[in-house]
Amino acid sequence: MTQKRLHIAIQKSGRLAEKSLDLIRDAGFRLVKSASDLAYSVENAPIDLWCVRDDDIPTFVADGVADLGMVGRNVLAERAAGPNSAPLVELMPLGFGRCRLSIAAPLNFAYAGAKSLSGLRIATTYPNLLEKFLAEQGVDAKIVTMRGAVEVAPRLKLAEVICDLVSTGATLEANGLAPLQTVLESEAVLVRAPRVASEEIERAIQSVTARFRGVIASQGAKYVMMNAPRSALPEISRILPGADAPTVTPLAGRDDVVAVHAVCQESVFWETLEALKGAGASAILVLPIEKMM
């Protein structure tokens, strides 16, 4: 019997495409591109990737064509907020593609909470999420659904206000707009359908998810080593950013000084090293972590 292959749908090209491939490669999967550019197969595991439009990823997963999908939470949430959509399960955030779905308006717009939107036209490519937001806020406004280039709507007098994705804010600024309120915080997420798959596929999902978690946990995490006076340990534990209890080992021939090792989940800045030195630490080393599980 041939082994069933796990299918993962990823964006073909766009903001999430490269980062999705990077995560899969970093999880140890060797990718071979198909001749058509529409798929990859994994050389060292029974996994195939389908490369599709991001908007199609939820449908691929809901219909069982793919077992997993990597897609922006905004795309999923827009679908979930619409009529007749089978819900999908968000397994984990993937740590890239971060953005916000925000209400934005021309700089001179006087905003005093969502009620200020009453009676206005709001242009968006996310009509379902916007409708849900307005209903929650008890605001009656007109939704103008666009396919893209939402930021030009106020200038074209199509709408007074927009609701669009923002990451750096440069697009809003270039169009004389400012964000007023966040409707949704988004990033790329791993999704699956709620139904239980075959035992083989369920096992593959568990294993792939554990590897992705490991890759994401090790991103930004650092291994910090130093020597420190035993008496400074409480102070040093306090300074180490996002570390659990450090490992403390004796140094040969020294009773007063120990070696301290810790995994820091947050960035270790020069300021942190200076603070550690100030607390009496010496020979401080900060090392990258390749894998963590």
Segment interacting with ligand PRT, rule: CB under 6 A, options 40-48, 69-77, 202-210, 237-245: 69-77
Q: What are phi and psi of 45, to 5 degrees?
A: -165, 155
Q: Judged by CB under 5 A, how many residues of this single chain contact Zn ion?
A: 2
Using CB under 6 A as the criterion, what x/- string covers residues 176-215 for binding ligand PRT? ----------x-----------------------------
Q: What are phi and psi of 63, to 5 degrees?
A: -85, -5
Residues 214-233 that bind ligand PRT (CB under 6 A): none
Q: Choose, by CB under 5 A, the member of 22, 55, 140, 200 that binds Zn ion.
A: 55
Is residue 224 within 8 A of residue 218, CB to CB? The reply is: no
Residues 151-180 that bind ligand PRT (CB under 6 A): 164-171
Between 97 and 214, CB nearer to ligand PRT: 97
Residue 19 partner contact from Zn ion, ligand PRT, none using kind-dependent CB cut-offs of 5 to 8 Å = none
Using CB under 6 A as the criterion, what x/- string covers residues 14-53 for binding ligand PRT? xxx------------------------------------x
Residue 124 partner contact from ligand PRT, Zn ion, none using kind-dependent CB cut-offs of 5 to 8 Å = none
3-state SS class at 258 = strand
Is residue 186 within 8 A of residue 99, CB to CB? The reply is: yes
3-state SS class at 285 = strand
C-alpha distance from residue 14 to each of 17, 52, 137, 140, 156 (Å): 6, 10, 33, 34, 27
Q: Which region, left, alpha or beta, applies to residue 253 given φ > 0 means left and ψ of -120 to 50 means alpha?
A: left
124 binds ligand PRT (CB under 6 A): no
d(CA 243, CA 265): 6
Is residue 115 within 8 A of residue 137, CB to CB? The reply is: yes
72 binds ligand PRT (CB under 6 A): yes
99 binds ligand PRT (CB under 6 A): yes
Q: Choose, by CB under 5 A, the member of 54, 56, 160, 164 that binds Zn ion.
A: 54
d(CA 55, CA 3): 29
Distance of CA 56 to the CA centre of its chain: 19
Binding site for ligand PRT (CB under 6 A): 11, 14-16, 53-55, 72, 74-75, 97, 99, 164-171, 186
